[in-house]
Chain A
Amino acid sequence: MRLTEFEELAEYAMLDVIKDQGVYIGKLKSKGKISILYQVEGFYVELTYIKYRHSIKNIRCFDSVEKIDCYIKQVDLEFLNQPFQ
């Protein structure tokens, strides 16, 4: 599915596509809102919630990897260096 095709879907259809095909990238918290980023085939979809996983404020779609930097920086890989206890 291409980005342009995805953008033409109704919101409920977008969420069904994300649920079936989306790959979770990360989560951001900012100004009391939570955003989740998914990769869907060759593009990204950001869901910003009024209430987490309940009421969606905004759905933003893009294919630029530069815009996902803030999500990638949140990923903490330090635990990989810790011995299993």
Chain B
Amino acid sequence: MIPVFIIVSSLFVALVVLVCLGTAFVGATRLFPMLQKGELLFQCSINVLTPIGWCLWMQDNQFESHPIFVAGLIFLSAGQLFYWDVRSLLSRGYSARILVDLYDAGGQVSSTNLKNHYAGGKGISGLLDKRMSQLRSAMLLKHSSSKLTWFGSGLARLGRTWRRLWAFQEVG
């Protein structure tokens, strides 16, 4: 029987492998820009293959009927979500970008200039252009109008409910 420590460690190894593969692919896209088109497919694939690989390893060691097998899968899925969340923050984080703008401008900027030159000069309208475009790409907003798709409506309703439930005062 494999020690519990080895099983738990294998989960962290799986997450590290996921991060390394994702990072390596990003590096590859810099050398071969044509690979950027396949980035979403690649990232989804490694998110599916990582837990499959771990499941196969656990099954080889005959652990599939134990709670730690199910818990391990739950932990891996949550860890993957966390990784995507961190990547999203490091790619699109609003507050994070404000901090970087301030740093690039020498550490001191007037509030008005900081707002007008958000994201290297794009401003808030640039932020909104990008977000609207991403909502359309994600099929949450119809391409030819301001109407939400059924998926976008559902997500909006869910988000509204959660924000009300948790009584968030200042939101994105």
Q: Do A and B bind each other?
A: no
